[in-house]
């Protein structure tokens, strides 16, 4: 059987060149391929384009979490629907990089999903109804189809997708847990090369064919998150503890429903 399993995150990202585009989920805090991101930081590839649903600033130490924002010094372009959480200082933390030349493309989340799906299907473009009359229509071609206006949107086909899965079998079949699927199936299907970090790698046959979310044909490399890696339940619990000590974050996570 062909071997897709890598024992080192560094080896799994070793071929990523300067200028590569990388799609990586970042939903909640640890629904993020943190170990691959940290490896890419160590590798130091430059001029990256990062495609992510949320770009959360690092409000804690790199020892506790590794989000896409860790890659800021290596980035040329960011495509995202959330450039920083408003209550955590909005996009202000990005301004310093924008001033130094970082290009930011803001895209509505549904449009991001539709553009990834279009990339996965090999489409040349789509007409999307979202964003009309808003800042996001700037520079976009408009077209009326059957009496309704649409914006032309380009597909997104990342060079690489970094995926965090719950389980991967050795053929690359993936299952997720809860809200961790997010944009990841579309990212894995749209990318040229898909690299996975999984909570657990299992033997072929251990995942029921009906439960597979991303079929193995879309997956090129698989790594397993070690006990001391990012994104383990222990690290998650520690992070929640740390974050609830920051009042603005505590308000985000629990605020409105506290003591009711």
Partner 1 sequence: MKQRLDEDTMAMRAAKELKDGDCANLGFGLPTLCALYVPEGIRFEAEAGILGYGPLVQANEAEKADWHYIDASGRFTRPAPGMACFDVVASFCMIRSGRLISIMGGFQVSEKGDLANWNTGSGMLGGTVGGAMDLANGAKKVIIMMQHTTKDGKPKIVKKCSYPITARECVDLIITDLAVIEVIPRKGLRLQEVAPGWTPKEIQALTEARLIIPKDVKEIEL
Enumerate binding residues for its own copies (CB under 8 A).
110, 113-114, 117-118, 121-129, 143, 145-146, 148, 150, 175-178, 209-211
Query: What are the structure tokens assigned to 83, written together?
Result: 């450039």
- What is the smallest separation between the CB atom of 140 and partner 1, expressed in angstroms? 13
For the bound state, the minimum distance from the C-beta of residue 37 to partner 1, rounded and expressed in Å, comes to 16
Assigned token pair, 45: 């590839």
The entry of its own copies, partner 1, none that residue 100 binds, CB within 5 to 8 Å by partner kind? none
Nearest residue (CB) to its own copies, 17 versus 125: 125
Q: Cβ of residue 155: shortest distance to partner 1, in angstroms?
A: 12
Among partner 1, its own copies, none, partner that 184 touches (CB below 5 to 8 angstroms by kind): partner 1
Q: Among residues 40 and 190, whose Cβ is nearest to partner 1? A: 190
The residues, ordered by sequence, that sit 6+ positions from 161 with a Cβ below 8 Å of its Cβ are 22, 23, 24, 184, 187, 188, 190, 191, 193, 194, 195
The residue among 14 and 237 lying less far from partner 1, judged by its C-beta, is 237
Taking the complex as a whole, the smallest distance from the CB of residue 201 to its own copies amounts, in Å, to 18
Q: How many CB atoms lie within 10 A of CB 44?
A: 10
Residues with Cβ within 8 Å of residue 167, at least 6 apart in sequence = 174, 175, 198, 199, 200, 201, 202, 206, 207
Phi (first) and psi of residue 209, to 5 degrees: -50, -35
């Amino acid at each position: 059987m062909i071997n897709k399993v890598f024992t080192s995150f560094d080896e799994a990202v070793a071929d990523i060149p300067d200028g590569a585009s990388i799609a990586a989920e970042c939903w909640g805090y640890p629904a993020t391929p943190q170990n691959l991101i940290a490896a890419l930081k160590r590798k130091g590839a430059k001029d990256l384009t990062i495609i992510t649903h949320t770009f959360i600033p690092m409000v804690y130490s790199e020892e506790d979490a590794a989000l896409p924002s860790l890659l800021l010094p290596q980035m040329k372009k960011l495509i995202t629907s959330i450039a920083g959480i408003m209550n955590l200082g909005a996009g202000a933390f990005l301004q310093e990089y924008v001033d130094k030349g970082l290009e930011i493309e803001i895209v509505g989340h549904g449009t991001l999903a539709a553009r990834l799906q279009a990339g996965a299907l090999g489409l040349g473009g789509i007409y999307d109804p979202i964003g009309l009359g808003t800042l996001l229509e700037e520079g976009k071609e408009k077209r009326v189809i059957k009496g309704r206006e649409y914006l032309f949107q380009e597909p997104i086909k990342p060079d690489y997708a970094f995926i965090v899965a719950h389980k991967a079998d050795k053929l690359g079949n993936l299952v997720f847990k809860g809200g961790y699927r997010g944009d990841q199936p579309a990212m894995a299907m749209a990318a040229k090369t898909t690299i996975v970090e999984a909570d657990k790698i299992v033997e072929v046959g251990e995942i029921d064919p009906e439960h597979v979310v991303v079929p193995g044909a879309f997956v090129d490399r698989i790594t397993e998150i070690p006990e001391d890696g990012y994104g383990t339940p222990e690290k998650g619990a520690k992070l929640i503890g740390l974050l609830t000590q920051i009042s603005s974050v505590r308000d985000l996570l629990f605020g409105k429903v506290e003591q009711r």
